[in-house]
Amino acid sequence: MPQQPANTPPEVTPDDRPQRRREYSGAGSTLGVGALIILAVGVAIWWFEFRGDGAGSASEDGFGVVELAASENPTGKAPAAEPGRAAPNFHLRDLADGASTLTDYRGKWVLVNFWASWCGPCRSEVPDLQELTQRRPDDVVVLGVNQQETRDAAAKFAQEFDVTYPIVLDRSGEVSQAYRAQGLPVSYLVNPEGVIVKAYLGRVTDDDLDALEDEYLSP
């Protein structure tokens, strides 16, 4: 049998499937996995540092959306952010480091107003809301729900506009989500029995407040 010369390279068998996927994908794949791990860690750090004090602690501390007792729900249906349904109940910290629950205001009309200090229309409607509460203190409560800002930011806003109506802090955004308050401002008029009768998407206007008084509040 003839011998292969010593310097001849070994025979290479042709690949019968040259376009098949290779098993080894090289260093790029390893770097890609590493980048994904770093990204996941970064997202986790962001979540716990900047959202964790609200989102993670809402249930543990008892703040956020809370159960509405059946005896306090005259509709017989699950609470929902829409007219004709019981307003979702919530318990949130206020500016004085106390807390308020929506059901604390049973027996009065409540205008639940979702806002933030950076929101232009929110700023323009606040003087009108403040005037309403001063004009009809025995008939209606404006309950301002600050959306995901610090206590200092909310307090500075209240001081700037001489707000005297109660303000609570939805640090986690859980209550805003339950009320579908994605765009601000959003307000809901809740009757003395705790049922939503009207939703206001956007700035509450003077005409809205005049109609509210004429239709719902005692003369």
Place of tokens 């939805």: 170
Q: Which of 99, 119, 195, 197 is catalytic?
A: 119
Would you call 21 a catalytic residue per the annotation? no
Other residues' Cβ atoms within 10 Å of the Cβ of residue 198: 16
- Residue among 126, 114, 117 nearest 174 (CA): 114
Other residues' Cβ atoms within 10 Å of the Cβ of residue 6: 5
Would you call 135 a catalytic residue per the annotation? no
Q: Which of 86, 102, 116, 122 is catalytic?
A: 122
Pair 54, 146: CB distance under 8 Å: no
d(CA 160, CA 163): 8
Show which residues are catalytic. Answer: 119, 122
